[in-house]
Each structure stands twice: as structure tokens, then as C-alpha cells.
Amino acid sequence: MRFIAAPLLLAVVLALSATLAPATGQPARWGDLEDTHTALDVYAEDSSAAAVVLFDMGEARITDRFDVELERHRRVKLFTEAGYNQATISILTFRDSEDVSGIRGQTFVPDGQGGYDRVKMDGDAVFRERVGDDRERVTFTLPALAPGAIFEYRYRINSESLLLFPSWYFQDDVPVLHSEFEAVIPRNFNYVRASQGTLPFDVETNERVNRFGTESIKYRWVRTDVPALRDEPYVTTLEDYIHKVEFQLAEYSVPGYGVERVLNTWEKLAEDLDGHNRFGRALRSSRALRRQVEAVTAGLTDPAEKMTALYDYVRTAIRHDGRRGYFTSTSLKETLEERSGSAADINLLLLQLLREADIGAVPVLLSTRDHGLVQTAYPLVTQFNYVVVLATVGNASYWIDATDPMRPFGLLPAEALAGKGWVPDRDAPMWIAIDVLGPAKRAISFEGDLDESGTLTAALRLRAEGYDAIWMRHGVDEASAEAFMRDYLSDMPGVVLDSARVEGLADLNTPLDLYAYVRVPDYAQTAGDLYFFNPIPLDRYLENPFTSPERLFPVDFNYPRTHRMTALVRLPAGFEVDEMPSPTRLTFARDAGTYQCQLGAQGNQLVVRRTVDLRAVSVEPQVYSDLRAYYDRMVSADDQMVVLKRSAPAEAEGSGDED
């Protein structure tokens, strides 16, 4: 079942929580199976579920050794073999500061007589391996799986970092009947908490308790019957929608020493970042950087020219290794020397080079679109995962990100178009709208001759700007203009590419132009005197990408797009248009999307003009059905045919000439 209407679901939750969930507040005991769970052979709310999480209990606390300890106990029921992947668990930790221990697991296999056989997981089914320099991965798998079996496992993670209090996810890719998280935190520690999800908690309490002789607060969250989280196309990230609770240490007090504020305002966060070794304090000049600035800006006096020269230098010289982040992974000097780095290394290097050239520039932290929305109410640095640069020359501001050698100045990576970013200025931190959406433009000019055998011979130019030019430049550069065009034209069955060339590949400030000569045998199908063909040779919508009839999350197009095509087709001698599509204009949500296609015939020439504009960047689920219908109508419009017939003898022409 998918949850569509929240009130309906809520009712279901309330009804079920009474019957299925373990009595709240009573810890599930290791090995004690509950009758309601053993009797379950299918999850009524989602009969397609291959498994359900019967419960997932977590308890996190700060111990008397001042580390953070998480104990987790999870029990799963399998319905079909498709649920077996739930039984292999992989935990990634920091090797130096975290430790996974107390791993136990067991499976209860139906014995065929209404009871269960218990099979324990042996210690040799737990594997530990080093990953990279500083991580460790612990992997284990439960034994004796079978449909109807119930398995459970538990483990403990101890972390030395008080900053990283564990997050808790209430949702998974299978339904969760009961998910419960308890956090016991001494009163002298204050964490900022952020919770996310469309459903309310079943229980959300806090109470005073005494642990290790310290006054503490026990927080408790319970959520029951949480539906499985499922992926949909054109979603920014499921991370935006999953039900979770997150923490970040704000302050703590040491008796006799007063309160140490760790973090609890954006101002404090900005101050911390400013003093951080891998952020503010990493922004240091060195002789190598200064020499580089001198070399790159030699002879330039205009600050704007210096800015683009430095951008071009970093963009082409330093290779992005694919990592993101906002902290540098090494010194700027070393990034410059190694010619390779993460997005943070590259963009902060450029920031420093700009400052060295007396150009005002600030870092802007953001959360990329696949990383989730930033909630401004919570000053949690972990909400970010990326940093770009905002530079100012005169009165103009420029967004800068040098991680892609094919991206022109002034465009951010598509995934960085996150709506807003945060400038961690220690004196005046601020939010700033990321309003450059950049164009993605494509224009095709097509001129061809259709001959009597139905073959279309044509010259075409494909011109791309903005985001479209980025991926096309990569495609051409990594292969060749021919290889790229061959691929681009593959929607025309039987197309023969006679030649192709590219212009504007190196100069990112000009459009990218691809020229091609093509032949398409049998482009028009012929039957005696009747010829017919589709008048839109390229870029037409073949299928509606929105296959699903309904939608839970917004459709996300990332940036606006424009496609234009002008085609001129000369008809074979002695033929004229018999039927052709009438002019079409389609719109979606006023002018959020428009489609126009117009054909004109003049003598033996056919002219086609088609423009598709998408201005909407994000479409809410409420209007999804309109969007889907709009795409359906565009596919239909693109499907229309032109029919030719042999012209009547010249004498009779006068009367047959219709508008």
C-alpha cells in the first residue's frame, strides 16, 4: 500500500498500533517471540512486503566515560525470499574513534509443527575490514533463513565523539511495525534535535532520570506502522522524506567551570568554522599560491578578467576527484601541487586565489539536491555537504564552482542548485538565495531533401548552451564529434552519418555547435503515389517519461530548459503535401511548460517550427496528473505525420490549392 492521503493513513496507524505494536515502554527481550508476530504471515497494510521489521529498538546514551554509546536491537520477520537481503548487515565506522561490539544474532526457523528452531549466528559469520585510511566495515549475515522465519540481531557502537550523537531512522525499504529510539543525555549536555517526516510520532516524551549519579533526561520517540520508503523517478532525494531524528551537540557544562557552548546558533557555527583547521584556517596563502596568482593574472588589470582567468586556471588545471564536502582534505598548497582534490579543496583554493588577487569572495555552504533540504531552524553543520564561492566585482556577484572543466563561468553544478546557501561569515553569517538557474538550451536547424525513394539527405546544426552544452562538450571531448552525433541521432532508425564536426568546443563562453551531414534511407515510407513521414526528425518525445499514474513526492526538473527546432524539407519533384498536422500549442500550468509546433508548406518546401519550453523547476504532486497529461499530449503531437501525394498535372493546379 502506498500512503497517499495522510489523514487516512493516520487512522490506520492508530487502529493498528493498538494491536501489533509491543506495549510501549516495555523493552523487547532477546529471544522472546511474541504471538502477534509469530502469527503474522502477511503484512495487511502492504501485502507486497517481502519482510517487515517487527521492531527496531535503539538506546543511545552518554556514558560515564564520556563517550556516546548506541545499543540496537532489531527483529525482522521474513515473508518471502525477496526479504533475505534484510539479513545481511553492514556497519561503517571510523576506525580510530568508534567501536562496534557485542554483535549477536539468531534466527527462529519454523519447525513445521507450529514451533521454531533457534539457530545462533556464529562468531565467524562476522567480518571486519579496513576501508581506506580511517574507516572500518563490519559485515554479518544471519543463518538459516526461510520464509516465515524471524531473526534478530543486536550490537553496540561506542563513539568517542560527543559531537556525533547517532541519528535514528524510523523508516526502511520494508515496512517497520515499531521503531523506538531512546536518548539518555545528562542535563549538562545540550543537543539540538531535528526530526523529519510527514507522520506524527506515536510517542514523544522526555523525563528526568538519574544515570551514573548524574541527572539526565530520557527522550523517547516511537513510531509505529511506518510504510516502506520507495524510490520514484525525478525525486531530489529520499533523504528529504525519510522519517528520522538527528542531533548535534550545542553546549555542555563542567561543574565548577561553567558552560561550554559548542554550537547552538548559526553565529556560533560560523565562528567555529572560521577557526576550523580544515575550513577558515585552511584559507591561508603561501608563496606557491601567490606565485600562481601572479602567473595567471600577469598583464591583467581588470578585476573581472582576473577572476575569470583564475577560474579558468583552476577549472582546467585541478582535477575533481569526485568527492564533495565543505572541509578541505589537505592544504591548499598541496591541492595546487597535486592538481587534484575534492570539491572543497578546489573551490576553497579558488576562493583563496581570488582573495589573493584582491577580489572579494566568500564561501557558501549548501546541501546538494541529493543530500536533502537544509532546515534553517537547526544550526547543524552536517546538514551541508558542499561549498561553492560567491565573488563580487563592482556591484555584481558571481557564483563560482571550478569542479568541472566543461562548465562555463557563472554556472553552478546542477546538483548545487539547492535553493539556498549559507555564508559562514564570522561577523554576519547569512542565508542567500541561489537564484542562478542557468539556461539549458538546445536549438536544431535542419535542412534536407527528400527524394523519390523516400531517402532524406540533410545538413543540420545542433547548438547547445548552458547545462546542455556541458554534457555535450564532455561527450564530444571524450569520444569525438562523429561518435557523439552518431549516438545523438540514434533515434532515427537507419540514419547514416556522412560527416560531423564541432565548433566552440574549447571556448566555453560561446555556444557549442555540432554540424552533421546525414542520410536517412526510407525516412518516408512510400506506397505507390502515397508518401508519409514524421516531420520532426530529431529530439521528439517518443514516450511519456511519467509512467506512474500517481505521485508522492514533487517532480524535480532541476533547471529550466528550451528546445527549438527549425526544419526545412524540400519534397521530391512532382509531389505536394496532401495532409499535415495543424498548428499545435500546448501549455502546462499557465506557462510553466509550453509546446508549439507549426508546419507550413510552400510549393515543394515544408517548413517545421517546434519550440518546447519548460520553465517549471519543481512540480508538486497535486498537479502531477496535469503534468503527465501535458507530456501525453506532447507525445501525441510529435507523433503526427505528413502525407504527400503526386501533384496533379499543372493545368489542374488552380482549383486544388487549398489554404
Partner 1 sequence: MPHFLPLLALLALPTAPSHAPALDIPASATPMSATPTSATLVPDDDPSLAVNAAARLLYELYDHGAVVRRHDTRVEIRGPGRAIQTERRAVTIFDARGRDHGSHVVFYDTFRKLKRFRACLLDAQGEEIRCLGRRDFEDYPATSSYSLYDDNRVRVAEFVHDAYPYTVVFETDVEHDGLLGGPPAWRPQPAGNPVEQARLTVSVKGTLPLRHRARHLGDAAEPTVTEQRDATVYTWMLSMLPCRDREALGPRFHDQVPRVEVTLDAFEIGGERGRLDSWSAFGQWYGRLSEGRAELPEDARVEVQALAAQGATRREKVRLLYEHLQRSMRYVSVQLGLGGWQPFDAAYVYERRYGDCKALTNYLMAALAAVGIEAYPALILNGSRAEDLDPAFPYNEFNHVVLYVPMDDAATPEDESLPEAESPLWLEATSTRMAFARIGAGNEDRHALVVTPTGGMLARTPASTSAENREDRRLALTLAPDGRVSGTLRYTYTGAQVDRVRRALWQASPQDRLDWLYERAAQGGDLSATDFSRVDARTDTLQIAAALDVQRFATSMGSRLFVQPSRLLYVPTVPSETEQRLHPVRFAYPYLDTDEVTLQLPQGYAVEVVPEPVVLDTEFGRFEARADLSDDGALRFTRTLEIRTRELPAAAYDDVRAFFAAVEQAGTEQVVLKKAR
Closest CB 47 distance from partner 1, rounded Å: 9
Please say which residue, 193 or 519, places its beta carbon nearer to partner 1.
Answer: 519
Please say which residue, 35 or 659, places its beta carbon nearer to partner 1.
Answer: 659
Q: Are 404 and 343 in contact (CB under 8 A)?
A: no
Interface residues toward partner 1, by CB under 8 A? 48, 50, 80-82, 84, 88, 119, 122, 125, 127, 129-133, 137, 139, 141, 143-146, 230, 316-319, 337-340, 405, 477-478, 480, 486, 493-494, 521-522, 525, 527-528, 530, 532, 543-544, 547, 549, 579, 581, 632, 635-636, 639-641, 643
The rounded radius of gyration (Å) of the Cα atoms in the chain is 31
Closest CB 251 distance from partner 1, rounded Å: 37
Closest CB 109 distance from partner 1, rounded Å: 8
Closest CB 57 distance from partner 1, rounded Å: 25
CB atoms within 10 A of CB 439: 15
HSE-up (13 A, CA, CB side) for residue 198: 19
Closest CB 193 distance from partner 1, rounded Å: 34
**DSSP type of residue 270:** H
Q: SS3 for 203-235, per residue?
A: EEEEEEEEECCEEEEEEEEEEEEECCCCCCCCC
Closest CB 127 distance from partner 1, rounded Å: 4
Closest CB 38 distance from partner 1, rounded Å: 19
Q: Are 443 and 497 in contact (CB under 8 A)?
A: no
Residues 6+ apart with CB under 8 A from 657: none
Whole-angstrom distance, CA of residue 172 vs CA of residue 174: 5
Whole-angstrom distance, CA of residue 362 vs CA of residue 351: 7
CB atoms within 10 A of CB 609: 15
Q: Are 149 and 109 in contact (CB under 8 A)?
A: yes
Residue type, position 489, single letter:
L
Q: What end-to-end distance do the CA atoms of the chain give, in Å? A: 55
Q: Are 147 and 80 in contact (CB under 8 A)?
A: yes
Please say which residue, 69 or 345, places its beta carbon nearer to partner 1.
Answer: 345
Work out whether strand 561-570 and strand 440-450 pair parallel, antiparallel, or are unpaired: parallel
- Residue 523, helix vs strand vs coil: coil
Please say which residue, 109 or 249, places its beta carbon nearer to partner 1.
Answer: 109
Whole-angstrom distance, CA of residue 486 vs CA of residue 491: 10
Please say which residue, 191 or 541, places its beta carbon nearer to partner 1.
Answer: 541
**DSSP type of residue 368:** -
Please say which residue, 50 or 614, places its beta carbon nearer to partner 1.
Answer: 50
338-344's contacts with Cβ under 8 Å and 24+ in sequence apart are 343/386, 343/387, 343/401, 343/403, 344/386, 344/387
Please say which residue, 127 or 212, places its beta carbon nearer to partner 1.
Answer: 127
Closest CB 530 distance from partner 1, rounded Å: 6
Closest CB 237 distance from partner 1, rounded Å: 20
Taken as a whole, the chain contains a residue count of: 659
Please say which residue, 119 or 437, places its beta carbon nearer to partner 1.
Answer: 119
Please say which residue, 543 or 651, places its beta carbon nearer to partner 1.
Answer: 543
Please say which residue, 167 or 534, places its beta carbon nearer to partner 1.
Answer: 534
Closest CB 478 distance from partner 1, rounded Å: 6
Q: Are 254 and 265 in contact (CB under 8 A)?
A: no
